[in-house]
């Protein structure tokens, strides 16, 4: 059996065609273990660490950080038996210009990773139920060619003589203030850090391998990275410095590549905007009683450790209104309308990577406490950059909370395949006629966009009215509807 094996970017099983290499977690010459994370890849849906399919020694890295790689392209070569001596014909360590044309013997030593069966089922890169591969990224047919982002000050890659052309990799400099992890200033094993932390480290030029993590299980946190970069960047200005440093060229223009989540969002919103005929209706509601009900809920013993926000009541209102108007929770399928009995409730979330819409599966079957816990977990996972592709697929109805940005309401665009999306605006104290007198009341404005092929004006109006009725008096409405 060939001892040097190429690992291809895995087939994602959902029509995904490419991913961007965010960070290499190993370098040429490193000895790695089975299932050790070796590379962090960002796709249209998630940033995911891919584990090694084999134990051995890294012989080649074919694409540098920042490259967009097509599914099925080799990204790394691993010597599965490094103790057997050098591979015949190998030129590892030689500059690319000095490498001879690969011989038949050297090419025979390279084996391309099989599509399935190389790792334990269920692990990333391994077979999953239904013949799919358990890995990363977005979805949709490929419509454009893969592009590579140019990088500066790249170092030459060391490589074995394989058919794929060698590429370049970049090593971030170790700052003088970094705290060594051991005697030689490097971690002896893989570095534990979340994708947003790795991105921050790359932006600030911090070598994660030279830091000692203060997070759970020794993981490296954002504070660890910012402390290491403190002499160069003041902690209070980290965000602005990263985003503004060398952002503009001599023409005073900035060019940002459209990829990952931004690219998927653009494709989805454009397709939805010009496919589904949108209608948006608005309703302004006095939510004073709802806010008082939330305060009473927070005071209950069993809810004191639970994150309770107005969005929780909006989600409950939507789920109850769907029971009364099931057609709102449906999708257009050309010759038929598919009405769902289940509600996979999407919550739009703004993250460092862009807008994502993870959803709570079968939210209509959850109790209010279960719904609160699910929403808290969804938000925390999204902020940490760990939302999986499965969490963002299969949504049936969405809420976007523009109120957290101080916005009154909006005309949201439908996620593809959904027939309605509700915008929840800011809750403000405003003058309001209450019991015949003008009084200060807590007021919000709702905006409901819906697909007019499925939801006509009457149905959309009744659905929005029911959501508003619940928010105006949740306790009385809940008793009346259940």
CB 332 within 8 A of CB 277: no
The two structure tokens encoding residue 19: 């991913």
The set of residues, in sequence order, having a beta carbon less than 8 Å from that of 244 and lying 6+ positions away, is none
Handedness of CA 8, 12, 16, 18 (dihedral sign): negative
CB 193 within 8 A of CB 208: yes
Handedness of CA 375, 380, 384, 388 (dihedral sign): negative
Catalytic residue, from 278, 325, 434, 452: name it.
452
The two structure tokens encoding residue 369: 């406490």
The set of residues, in sequence order, having a beta carbon less than 8 Å from that of 268 and lying 6+ positions away, is 415, 416
Q: Which residues pair with 428 in a beta bridge?
A: 443
CA-wise closest residue to 190 among 4, 386, 35:
35
Task: Using CB atoms within 10 Å of the CB of residue 80, give its burial: 0 to 12 exposed, 13 to 18 middle, 19+ buried.
Answer: middle
CA distance 296 to 28: 59
CA distance 284 to 291: 15
CB-facing half-sphere around the CA of 139: CA atoms within 13 A:
10
CA distance 294 to 92: 65
CB 13 within 8 A of CB 132: yes
The set of residues, in sequence order, having a beta carbon less than 8 Å from that of 159 and lying 6+ positions away, is 28, 59, 60, 61, 62, 77, 91, 92, 96, 99, 166
Helix (H) or strand (E) holding 75: strand 74-79
Round to the nearest angstrom and report the end-to-end CA distance of the chain. 66
CB 134 within 8 A of CB 14: no
Q: Has 452 been annotated as catalytic? A: yes
CB 62 within 8 A of CB 164: yes
CA distance 84 to 188: 23
Residues taking part in catalysis: 452
């Amino acid at each position: 059996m060939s001892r040097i094996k190429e690992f291809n970017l895995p087939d994602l099983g959902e029509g995904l065609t490419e991913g961007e290499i965010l960070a290499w977690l190993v370098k040429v010459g490193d000895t790695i273990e089975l299932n050790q994370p070796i590379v962090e890849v960002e796709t249209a849906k998630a940033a995911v660490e891919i584990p090694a399919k084999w134990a051995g020694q890294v012989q080649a890295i074919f694409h540098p950080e920042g490259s967009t790689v097509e599914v099925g392209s080799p990204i790394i070569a691993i010597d599965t038996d490094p103790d057997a001596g050098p591979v015949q014909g190998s030129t590892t360590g030689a500059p690319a210009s000095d490498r001879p044309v690969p011989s038949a013997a050297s090419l025979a030593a390279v084996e391309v990773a099989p599509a399935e069966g190389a790792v334990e089922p269920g692990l990333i890169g391994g077979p999953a139920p239904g013949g799919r591969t358990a890995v990363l990224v977005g979805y949709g047919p490929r419509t454009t060619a893969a592009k590579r982002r140019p990088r500066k000050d790249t170092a030459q890659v060391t490589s074995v003589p394989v058919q794929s052309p060698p590429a370049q990799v970049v090593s971030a400099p170790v700052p003088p203030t970094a705290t060594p992890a051991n005697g030689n200033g490097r971690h002896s094993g893989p570095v534990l850090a979340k994708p947003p932390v790795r991105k921050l480290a790359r932006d600030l030029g911090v070598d994660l391998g030279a830091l000692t993590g203060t997070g759970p299980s020794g993981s490296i946190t954002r504070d660890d990275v910012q402390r290491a970069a403190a002499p160069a960047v003041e902690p209070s200005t980290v965000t602005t410095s990263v985003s503004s440093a060398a952002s503009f060229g001599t023409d005073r223009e900035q060019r940002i590549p459209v990829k990952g989540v931004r690219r998927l969002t653009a494709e989805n919103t454009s397709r939805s905007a010009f496919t589904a005929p949108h209608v948006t209706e608005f309703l302004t509601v006095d939510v004073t009683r709802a806010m008082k009900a939330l305060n009473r809920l927070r005071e209950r013993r069993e809810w004191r450790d639970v994150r309770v926000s107005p969005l929780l009541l909006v989600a409950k209102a939507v789920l109850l209104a769907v029971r009364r108007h099931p057609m709102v929770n449906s999708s257009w399928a050309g010759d038929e309308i598919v009405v769902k009995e289940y509600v996979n409730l999407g919550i739009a979330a703004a993250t460092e990577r862009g807008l994502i819409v993870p959803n709570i599966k079968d939210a209509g079957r959850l109790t209010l406490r279960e719904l609160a816990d699910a929403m808290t977990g969804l938000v925390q996972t999204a902020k940490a950059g760990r939302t999986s592709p499965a969490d963002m697929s299969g949504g049936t109805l969405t809420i976007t909370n523009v109120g957290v940005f101080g916005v009154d309401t909006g005309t949201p665009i439908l996620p593809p395949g959904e027939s309605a999306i509700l915008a929840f605006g800011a809750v403000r104290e405003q003058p309001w006629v209450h019991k015949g007198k003008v009084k200060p009341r807590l007021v919000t404005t709702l905006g409901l966009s819906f697909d007019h092929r499925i939801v006509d004006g009457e149905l959309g109006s009744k659905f929005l009215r029911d959501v508003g009725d619940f928010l105006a008096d949740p306790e009385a409405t809940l008793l009346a509807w259940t």
